[in-house]
Chain A
Amino acid sequence: MNRLSPFNVVSLTFGFAFLYLPMLILVIFSFNSSKLVTVWAGFSTRWYGTLFQNEAFLDAAWVTLKVAVMSSTFATVLGTMAAYVLVRGGRFMGRTLFSGMIYAPLVMPEVITGLSLLLLFIGIGMDRGVMTIVLAHTTFSMCYVSVVVSSRLATFDRSLEEAALDLGASQFDAFRLVTLPIIAPAVISGWLLAFTLSLDDLVIASFATGPSATTLPMKIWSSVRLGVSPEINALSSILIGIVSVGVITASLMSKRHAVRVRREEQAAQRAT
């Protein structure tokens, strides 16, 4: 391969333009001084200012952050366990059901997941609020974590664990000292994925929450239903900015790491 035909170039250009133009326009117009969001009236950061004075948004952001940190942490622990069971657990009763429950939430419409969890919380008489959102988010994002981690575990050289056992490590030590450090990048990306999923979620949180807790997406939702607003543009730009910086940094770091490893390997081969 390695040769791009004109058709390839065109499809890449249009494809990425399609993916990025809407977000780019959103970011640009968040600096628009006019309240009319589709008419450019000069550069201004006033909407960022009003955003940071909006108590309701800040409260919602705080709730969202709390929920995201808690649920992604639980989801990472549970999801890693589930991945380990899927890849290394061998046969046990109800394995098919288990793997079904891991994969199904990935494609389950959010309305159904949300509705079913709400009915559960009501059925057992649980007070709805931050805790119920955390439970709901943990449940669906642990499945994402487990998919990310299990794909790493599947390519993991099993003899590394056997070597640890052979050298006298207990099962737990072998996991703690060998497996976990090696799959750590996958576990971390699993955590980040769970975190962003929780940050983004509107539908499931709307079902799972009670009057006491409003998350940022719910707040955004109730205001965008009324149309485009410059404040939401500013908020969106901030979120897009954070994600872009994060993703770009991560990919640069992993690229640099790969280059260094390759160079060191080549040096080691030449030395002999």
Chain B
Amino acid sequence: MAQTVFAPWDDPQQKPLIQFVGVTKRFGDFVAIDDLTQDIYEREFFALLGPSGCGKTTMMRMLAGFEAPTEGSILLSGQDIAGVPPNKRAVNMMFQSYALFPHLTVWDNIAFGLRRSDMPKDAIAARVEEMLKLTRLSKFGRRKPHQISGGQRQRVALARSLAKAPKLLLLDEPLGALDKKLRQDTQFELMDIQETTGTTFVIVTHDQEEAMTVASRVAVMDEGRIIQVATPEKIYEAPNSVYVADFIGDVNILEGTAKANGPESYAIDWGGAEPATATSARPFSDGQKAHLAIRPEKIAISAERPADAANAVQGKVLDIAYLGNLSTYHVELPTGQVIKAQSANTRRVSRRAYTWEDPVWLSWSATAGVLLES
């Protein structure tokens, strides 16, 4: 039996869990969210990614009920949640600071939300134990927040927000306070828990690596708008704008004019010795301004001009950034432009083929880059 790909956003039969319909949020003169429409589906792990001040936190706070939209409406399971206060919403939030109650034990922190409902005492106890087990905290129930480590605090916050089995869990920079190693482990743990509980997660983050790792879809935001929503692969491989291409990962941008030279194929005159060839499903008219975005790892570096490459330029090595597993070469072209090319360090550094000032050839295929409108 072939496993079906999880992609409810492609299925017109699916009803979204959350719908933003023409939502605008203003704080005085400042527009935090600008006429935003977006659906989020059940069981999704939806990431809001963007620089600080882009409106991602405001979106989340509107879902939690701490802010109300100035215009437009937000629907949860088809119902407008405008007038519903935060304490009446089937939405829970994990705060960036974790917001663990310092005067309560881990156990009481997790039970806090359950006690606000009319759940019987033994059911509460059972649920808390279940949550402690899920987050591997069973030994720490009696401790106070200051008596556990940062990683454990993060898990308490998660357990507390999941305890009420919300329809939607909001995570505000959930891993921001952890160091890098712990963050990576925790990302997978979060994905596991999301899968086990089947809860819809909306995560806010400014860390693109984190968004790419955990999310089923990533929404890249800037200045109150969503620029692109797609799966991590699509966001990386097929960004829809220079902004997204530049925001996610490293990228070289060649700016020039397009001219069709075949079906879905264009020659871009970017000021180099010869025009670059690139394929694009998006049509460009002759003479239209275009940006060719190429990821550094898709550019090969060699001493001789490769015979079969669609694109090749010569330059000299300006700088080498050694990253351990990878090296990034900064190559200066005769035009003065600097192109980054990345290659895996399969050999030891001492046997590296190129060094500073070496003349080298850079090459890439016609499908390596993405052609973007300006």
Contacts and interface: CB of A to CB of B under 8 A. Distances in A.
Interface string B1-23: 00000000000000000000000
A245 interface: no
Nearest to B88: A168
Contacts of B149: 268-269, 271-272
B316 to A, nearest CB: 48
B151 A272 contact: yes
Interface string B95-136: 111010111000000001100110000000000000000000
A268 B95 contact: no
A269 B149 CA distance: 5
Nearest to B144: A264
B116 A160 contact: no
A267 interface: yes
B148 A167 contact: no
A157 B99 contact: yes
B276 to A, nearest CB: 50
A173 interface: yes
Given A159-B95, A160-B99, A272-B151, A165 B146 contact: no
A169 to B, nearest CB: 5
B243 interface: no
Contact of B87 (A168, A178, A181, A265): A168
A197 interface: no
B85 interface: yes
Interface string B131-159: 00000000000011011111110000000
Contact of A165 (B87, B144, B147, B150): B87
Interface residues of A, number: 25
B103 A162 contact: no
Given A159-B97, A167-B164, A264 B147 contact: yes
B99 A163 contact: yes
A166 B93 CA distance: 7
A265 B147 contact: yes
A167 B157 CA distance: 12
A272 B92 contact: no
B112 A157 contact: no
Interface string A183-196: 00000000000000
Contacts of B218: none
A261 interface: yes
A164 interface: yes
A271 B137 CA distance: 14
A157 to B, nearest CB: 6
A96 B39 CA distance: 44
B256 to A, nearest CB: 49
Contact of A265 (B64, B92, B146, B152): B146
A61 interface: no
Interface string B164-205: 100000000000000000000000000000000000000000
A271 B152 CA distance: 11
A268 B147 contact: yes
A169 B116 CA distance: 6
A135 interface: no
A182 interface: yes
B51 interface: no
Interface string A121-162: 000000000000000000000000000000000000101101
Given A166-B64, A166-B161, 12 more contacts: A159-B99, A163-B93, A165-B86, A166-B87, A169-B116, A170-B87, A178-B101, A181-B103, A264-B146, A268-B143, A271-B149, A272-B149
3 smallest beta-carbon distances between A and B, as pairs: A167-B113, A168-B116, A163-B99
22 contacts: A160-B99, A160-B101, A164-B112, A166-B65, A166-B92, A167-B92, A167-B112, A167-B160, A168-B116, A169-B112, A169-B116, A170-B87, A173-B116, A181-B103, A182-B101, A261-B146, A264-B144, A264-B147, A268-B148, A268-B152, A269-B150, A272-B150
Interface of A: 157, 159-160, 162-170, 173, 177-178, 181-182, 261, 264-265, 267-269, 271-272
